Amino acid sequence: MSELKIALVAEGLTDLVIIEAALKTILPRPFNLTLLQPEQTQPKHGGGWCGVFRWCKEEIRAQGNLSLDGNPKLNGFHLVILHLDADVADKSYSDCGAMVDQDAQQAGVASLPCSAPCPPTSDAVDNLKIVLLSWLGVADTGSKSVFCIPSKSSEAWLAAAVFPEDANLLRELECNQSMETQLANLPKVKRIRKSQREYKRHAYSISKNWNTIRQICSQAEVFHNDVDRITQRMTL
């Protein structure tokens, strides 16, 4: 079975850990995951959602392609994943500084904030998909690209994986804006601080409990189905 070549654009390295662990369960074949953003050695675009905006604008939108599939930077990849946390819907371009705010206005991209009441999770996520497409300057994701937009953050997926029986922690999980802080403030024996090393300690739980995450987190189910839809029709 041929190896899938996957490209990932994400907010940060902890998101890489969570998404890679999920893919190990979703995909029935070996894969190689390349992190395009943030770059791990010399991140010229910076990290977080501001870095994703800069990457989309400078690496994709500036090329003028009508779809992601036609962009030469993505040639050679079988699957492209673009990640944003759904809490970005509550942000403003000015949060990234005056230069990003000016760039967004000049480029005429979709407006932020684009928040919506939660639940449901889908309204803010759908709004963010429109924003992401405007950053990329394309009409749709194309035949080999998917969005990964956990609500409100990828920490929701982590919490569901590690503490699936903790009803208090998981209450209104996908609408919780402070899950990262809650995980970091748990009693010492359970505490999960936001670092790549800490999250890697729990990567196996994410893979093992992925189906539980899908049941608890609706946007994990969406991501699973989108990846499955694309990869099922591949002939490698």
The pLDDT of residue 233 is: 82
Q: For residue 236, what pLDDT band results from cuts at 50, 70 and 90?
A: low
Q: Are 77 and 6 in contact (CB under 8 A)?
A: yes
Q: Which residues does 139 contact at the CB level (< 8 Å), separation at least 6? A: 66, 67, 133
Q: What is the pLDDT of residues 99-114, one digit of tens each?
A: 999 999 999 999 999 9
Domain ranges in the chain are 4-154+217-232
The percent of residues in the chain predicted with pLDDT above 90, rounded, is 85
What are 85's two structure tokens?
A: 């946390």
Task: State the Cα–Cα distance between residues 215 and 202, nearest whole angstrom.
Answer: 19
CA end-to-end span of the chain: 7
Ranges 45-49, 111-115, 181-185: which has the least confidence: 45-49
- Ranges assigned E (strand) in the chain: 4-9, 31-37, 79-83, 145-148
Residue with structure tokens 């407006």?
A: 111
* Predicted model pTM: 0.96
Q: Which of 81, 80, 49, 107 is nearest to 72 (CA)?
A: 80
The pLDDT of residue 1 is: 54
Q: What is the pLDDT of residues 132-151, one digit of tens each?
A: 999 999 988 889 999 999 99
What are 191's two structure tokens?
A: 């505490």
